[in-house]
Homo-oligomer: A and B are copies of this chain.
Amino acid sequence: MSADHPIAIVIHGGAGELEKCFTEEEYSAVLVQAACAGYTLLLEGSSSIDAVVAAVVVLEDSPLFNAGKGAVLNSAGGIELDAAVMEGSQLRAGAIGAITNIKNPILAARTVMEDSPHVLLVGRGAEQFAAAQQCQIVSPDYFHTEHRREQLKRFLAAKQSPADSHQHGTVGAVALDKNGNLAAATSTGGTTGKLPGRMGDTALIGSGTYADNRTCAVSCTGHGEMFIRHAVAHRLAMPSAHSAASLSERAGEIIRELKLVGGSGGLIAVGPRGELVMEFNTPTMPRAAIGADGNLIVSFGR
């Protein structure tokens, strides 16, 4: 085992403010379950892709987070889900956008990567492809929770812009496996009251999700449009031989700079030596990590 790389996993449940209708204990329980689901696979020798997908499936299946089951509603009262995975050895990636009936969008993203010649499928075509690949289809009712209906009602009553939302709740995971391969996965329901068809940064490779074994795997959460415009994930993961700053320092700088131009949010990342990064410019970012020392960390605020 001594020649093996350290293993590590970090997960997030979205930067922003916690939903007041759930307790920290409830959040903690799911975060621990998700981190352990991924870490167990890493311990058993599975790939970082397996680990990040397993962790995100747990978060998607929980009503606490804005992804899968707990997705927010768009301005028409519907749900549209985005997700992406990427692995850092060959820079392979898969993503889906604006889908309405797949139980676990992250599994659909993975099958786009592994079973299609494409990186991104959206809408009805993505749904048809995922169904043909045996992804579980659910009725729209599966996603509709009373909590999200109330949230949309408040949003529409306040005539807010989706850009004003401070509750992001996107989920993501990054991991390093014993073969030194990095992977990232992100899944989201987007922003409350978004226009139908809107995609944020989550499913866009280089915006909200990226992985490169030379630098890091990264998963973002926040005001998606700002993360797209500033190419946040790729900004952190792009190989740059000239930087003396650590991964953590560079991530902190990017997230601070983003705040200066009005972009709220955060990111998690893991480097090729197991460096753990969790940076955010919002009040909280629910997160969990298990690093090379095997210790589990669960945190919310700074």
Task: List residues of A whose CB falls within 8 A of some B CB.
Answer: 80, 86, 91-93, 97-98, 116-129, 161-163, 194-200, 204-207, 210, 224-225, 228-231, 234-235, 238, 240, 242-243
Q: Is the CB of B162 within 8 A of A117?
A: yes
Complex CA gap A25/B206 in Å reads: 39
Q: Which of A118, A196, A207 gathers the greatest number of chain B CB atoms within 10 Å?
A: A118
Q: Is the CB of B121 within 8 A of A195?
A: yes
* Oligomeric state, in copies: 2
Closest partner residue, chain B, to A97 (CB atom): B122
Q: Say whether chain A's binding surface is mostly helix, strand, loop, or mixed.
A: mixed
Q: Which residues of B contact A196 (CB under 8 A)?
A: 124-125, 128
Complex CA gap A204/B199 in Å reads: 10
Taking the closest CB of chain B, its distance from the CB of A198, in whole angstroms, is 5
Q: Is the CB of A120 within 8 A of B228?
A: yes
Q: Is the CB of B93 within 8 A of A228?
A: yes
Q: Is the CB of B242 within 8 A of A197?
A: no
Complex CA gap A301/B156 in Å reads: 55
Q: Which residues of B contact A128 (CB under 8 A)?
A: 196-197
Q: Is the CB of A116 within 8 A of B195?
A: yes
Q: Is the CB of B117 within 8 A of A197?
A: no
Q: Which residues of B contact A240 (CB under 8 A)?
A: 240, 242
- CB contact under 8 A between A118 and B206, given known A91-B229, A123-B98, A229-B91: no
- CB contact under 8 A between A205 and B204, given known A121-B198, A197-B125, A199-B120: yes
Complex CA gap A41/B271 in Å reads: 47
Q: Apart from A122-B199, A129-B197, A205-B228, what 18 extra A-B contacts exist at CB < 8 Å?
A: A92-B229, A98-B122, A116-B195, A117-B162, A117-B195, A119-B229, A120-B199, A123-B124, A125-B197, A125-B198, A128-B197, A129-B195, A205-B207, A206-B206, A206-B231, A206-B234, A238-B238, A242-B242
